[in-house]
């Protein structure tokens, strides 16, 4: 406390001396020049007091600017140390996996901050009256979509790519999620898919949401995305 007061008064004194020898001397000189006589003691003390208040302000201003700069550096360092995950839903397939009504979501996640994992995945179809239960992909999954049967490997699961190996700054990952559809849909699932939301948490437990980008194709069309691998594709010839 005493050292802080000493530092403040020292800074104020330096500013006051500089002003008294500069602006103060100039003001006194001009007054004496035009009046033709020395300034009164009261006038001199008034000028000195005013310049002392200015010196106090300048000492405070310098400390304030240093503090703002340091706080800005700390904020920048904290921001650089935090994950910044975002992404988008690339596509959605609706069909059956092992005769289970299912929804496969293809997502791309990127990280513009500190390295982070992504976990606790959830999905929502607003207004459809169905619950989407996240299913673990423990073996290649085969999905019947229209006249096509698609098989995806375990490695295509997004959480296999970002749950244990942190996504580095500037990196991105593309993968899929499997959700079981529970309940009777109150809407066209393909149309509702364009309003789908997928949420997850980063390493600091902050929730992130990704949404669709533009109109999604859905149902019966084979969709290919960089980073995804269809290991088997069968087309039915039934008409």
- pLDDT of the chain, 239 residues: tens digit per residue: 677 777 777 877 777 777 777 766 667 666 666 666 666 677 777 777 887 888 888 888 888 888 888 777 666 666 566 888 988 888 888 888 888 888 888 899 999 888 999 989 998 887 777 778 888 888 888 877 667 777 888 888 888 888 878 899 899 999 889 998 887 776 777 777 777 889 999 988 999 998 876 666 665 555 677 777 766 666 545 44
Which pLDDT does position 219 carry in this prediction? 56
Query: Strand 131-135's sheet: what is its strand order?
Result: 131-135, 172-182, 100-111, 85-97, 141-145, 148-152, 232-235
In angstroms, the CA 167 to CA 86 distance is 11
Same domain for 113 and 51: no
Q: Last residue of a domain, which of 63, 80, 97?
A: 80
Q: How far is CA 134 from the centre of its chain?
A: 25
- 148 C-beta neighbours (distance < 10 Å), count: 17
CB-CB contact of 90 with 107 (8 Å)? yes
Same domain for 143 and 65: no
Which residues make beta-bridge pairs with 101? 96
Which pLDDT does position 196 carry in this prediction? 84
Same domain for 193 and 93: yes
Same domain for 154 and 76: no
CB-CB contact of 227 with 175 (8 Å)? yes
Instruction: Find the domain containing 20 and state its range.
Output: 2-80
Which pLDDT does position 239 carry in this prediction? 41
Spatial neighbors of 67 by CB under 8 A, at least 6 apart, are none
CB-CB contact of 150 with 207 (8 Å)? no
Q: Whole-structure pTM over 0.85, yes or no?
A: no
CB-CB contact of 158 with 104 (8 Å)? no
Same domain for 231 and 155: yes
CB-CB contact of 234 with 147 (8 Å)? no
Which pLDDT does position 223 carry in this prediction? 64
Same domain for 70 and 130: no
CB-CB contact of 143 with 149 (8 Å)? yes
Same domain for 184 and 97: yes
Same domain for 147 and 65: no
Q: Last residue of a domain, which of 45, 80, 115?
A: 80
How is residue 15 written in tokens? 């500013």
How is residue 61 written in tokens? 């201003």
Q: Last residue of a domain, which of 80, 103, 125?
A: 80
CB-CB contact of 122 with 191 (8 Å)? no
Same domain for 226 and 132: yes
In angstroms, the CA 128 to CA 100 distance is 18
Same domain for 214 and 146: yes
Reference 84, options 196, 167, 197; nearest CA is 167
Same domain for 193 and 125: yes
Domains of the chain: total: 2
Same domain for 229 and 189: yes
């Amino acid at each position: 406390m005493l050292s802080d007061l000493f530092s403040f008064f020292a800074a104020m004194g330096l500013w006051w001396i500089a002003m008294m020898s500069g602006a103060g001397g100039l003001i006194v000189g001009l007054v004496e020049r035009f009046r033709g006589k020395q300034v009164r003691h009261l006038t001199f003390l008034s000028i000195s007091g005013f310049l002392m208040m200015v010196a106090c302000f300048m000492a405070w201003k310098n400390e304030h600017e240093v503090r703002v700069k340091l706080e800005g550096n700390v904020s920048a360092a904290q921001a650089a140390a935090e994950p910044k995950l975002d992404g988008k839903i690339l596509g959605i397939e609706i069909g059956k996996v092992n005769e289970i009504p299912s929804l496969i979501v293809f997502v791309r996640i990127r990280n513009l901050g500190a390295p982070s994992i992504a976990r606790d995945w959830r999905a929502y179809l607003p207004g459809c009256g169905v619950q989407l239960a996240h299913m673990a992909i423990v073996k290649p999954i085969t999905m019947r979509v229209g006249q096509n049967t698609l098989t995806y490997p375990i490695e295509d699961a997004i959480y296999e790519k970002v749950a244990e190996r942190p996504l580095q700054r500037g990196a991105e990952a593309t993968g899929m999620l499997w959700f079981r559809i529970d309940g009777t849909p109150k809407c066209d699932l393909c149309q509702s898919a364009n309003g789908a939301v997928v949420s997850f948490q980063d390493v600091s437990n902050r929730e992130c949401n990704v949404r669709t980008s533009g109109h999604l194709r859905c149902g019966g069309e084979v969709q290919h995305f960089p980073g995804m691998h269809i290991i088997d594709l069968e087309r039915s010839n039934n008409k």
